[in-house]
Amino acid sequence: MKPKYMIHSVSNEQVGNYGWGIVLCLLLLFVVSMATLYVACLHDLRPISVSKTLLMQGVWYVLGASVAAIVMRLSETQLTRWAPLGYFCGLALLVLVLFFYSRAYFVQTGAKSWFAFGPVTFQPAEVMKPVFILMMARLLVKDHHNGPHLSSADDWHLLGVMVLYTLPVIVMLKLINDFGTTMVFMAMFVGFLIISQCRPKFLWRLGLIGGTIGALLLWAATSNRGQQLLSYVGFQPYQFARINAWLNPSGDQANQSYQLWQSIKAIGSGGVWGSGVHHLVYVPVRESDMIFSVVGEVTGFIGGLGLLMIFMYLFYLIIRSALVSKRLFYVYVATGVVSMLLFHTFENIGMTIGLLPLTGIPLPFISQGGSALIGNFIGIGLVLSTQYPDVRSIFATPGKFR
């Protein structure tokens, strides 16, 4: 009888080819990042050093690639063994940043998310993302090893364990006021839940419940009585303002809607082929959160579509490289990495064109910022570690989708 999770055997050479494809995508994204940051800083109204910005981005890329090169050589046994330690160390960093946060960034953003070491800042939540992926992958492989789910009790038990390890992260992110990163962790949680052993009927019911709650929250955030109720559970006035700006981007162009409206004008002015680099529409924070507005304005619809194609091909390669490895652990890892990068990409581009509310989420491998780059590269390193499988897997037997 054919094993349930058997897949076609693939040579190590084929697995390596997917790895080289991922490297090629990262090189293309590096070129796009440097070119876009150059244009963004060159025409910024603030006194920004173009050479310093590009130098720091290049340094972060080198550091990120170096970390990925180290992570990719760790075996499955090592990754699963160290996942709990990394998880609790990540939580400890989130606790520490609550007290030793950068005061300057807190004044600018209202979030206690960054450590500051002189001119260098570090956001521990970005490193927590790949550690969380490892922890969830470890839990789900153990659950698979225990056998298929046959009742709702099994589904609820797995959901409870996943929530147990997710809730502390969400609570800490709430305390440091980092709503954007909270959404990323929720997206990863949903991705893991979908690919877990939970039965489809159970997932459909959770989806209906989640959709109903989301619709009620959106309704409450747009009504005076609802905003009063949400304020009691920690929602901030600026979050309501962002939702209102999203629903009516032209309603308050001088204040809350200004950034979004400027981004829409910039992308619209790019047309099909782009408007060039000479006269850019000013968009606040376009070197970071709003960097896709530069891509859309300078290269137009064609350039934006090309960038999306690079991202989609990267996501395909990540999933495919895990599938051909025939190891369930790496499939779960790839699910977490793709969920993280896909949500970042969808949310960042969506908010620049008015499709989604504004949040402080950077575009992966493109936006300025070191912590996010390091976290993304760690995720890529975890995916590339499929090329160094450990046959002494502690959770599965040879010949199965492990």
Mean pLDDT of 34-50: 83
Q: Where are the beta strands (DSSP E) in 130-262?
A: none
Measured distance CA(7)–CA(20) in Å, rounded: 22
User: At residue 391, does pLDDT exceed 80?
Assistant: no
Question: Is the distance from CB of 143 to CB of 131 less than 8 angstroms?
Answer: no
In the chain the first and final C-alpha atoms are separated, in Å, by 18
pLDDT at 8 over 60: no
Q: 122 has which bridge partners?
A: 115
CA 196, CA 181: separation in Å to the nearest integer? 23
**Residue percentage of the chain with pLDDT more than 90:** 54
**Residues 59-110: pLDDT tens digits?**
999 999 999 999 998 988 999 999 999 999 999 999 999 998 888 888 777 7
pLDDT-based confidence at residue 173 (cuts at 50, 70, 90): very high
With residue 317 as reference, give the H or E element that holds it: helix 291-324
DSSP helix/strand/coil, 115? strand
Q: What one-character DSSP code corresponds to residue 255? A: T
User: Whole-angstrom Cα distance, residue 190 to residue 207?
Assistant: 10
The token pair at 202 is: 């159970």
Give 394's contacts (C-beta < 8 A, 6+ positions apart).
Answer: 77, 80
Q: How many residues does the chain have?
A: 402
Mean pLDDT is lowest, of 304-308, 331-335, 336-340, 367-371, for: 367-371
Query: Quick check: 4 pLDDT over 60?
Result: no
Q: What is the pTM of this model?
A: 0.88
Which range among 46-55, 145-154, 261-270 shows the weakest confidence by mean pLDDT?
A: 46-55
DSSP for residue 399: T
What integer pLDDT is reported at residue 253 of this predicted model? 57
**CA–CA dist 143, 208 (Å, integer):** 24
DSSP 116-162: EETTEEE-HHHHHHHHHHHHHHHHHHHHHHT----SHHHHHHHHHHH
For residues 387 and 258, which has the higher predicted lDDT (pLDDT)?
258
pLDDT(5) > 70: no
Separation between Cα atoms, residue 216 and residue 240, nearest integer Å? 14
Q: What is the pLDDT of residue 297?
A: 94
pLDDT of residue 255: 59
Chain centroid to CA 325: 23
Class of residue 225 by CB neighbours under 10 A (exposed 0-12, middle 13-18, buried 19+): exposed
